[in-house]
Amino acid sequence: MPYPALPELKGEIKMAKQPEELRKLVAVATDSGLAVKLRLKAIELVGNMGTHEALLALLDVAGNEHLTTEERQLALKYARAIVRSER
């Protein structure tokens, strides 16, 4: 017999996994040893999270002077989108 609180628990587990996923995606986005296309995809995935934590991570990525202009601009684009969605 399933417990009624189980669906709520699944939501909490999902929220707990999000920071770990975010950390890994930021690591990929800033790893200069990886292909630019892969780093751009990681930035896109962080932007699609749409959370405040993702916004802060995108701003950190945008401030990374070791990344290409394209990567930094994409991070800012997604950061702006998150700010606009929070209004």
Q: Write down the pLDDT at residue 3.
A: 45
Percent of the chain past pLDDT 70, that is, above it, reads: 79
| CA dihedral (36, 39, 44, 50) positive or negative | negative
Report which of residues 13 and 31 the model is more confident about.
Answer: 31
pTM: 0.79
Helix ranges restricted to H, 2-67? 6-29, 36-49, 52-62
pLDDT band at 21 (very low <50, low <70, confident <90, very high): very high
pLDDT band at 17 (very low <50, low <70, confident <90, very high): low
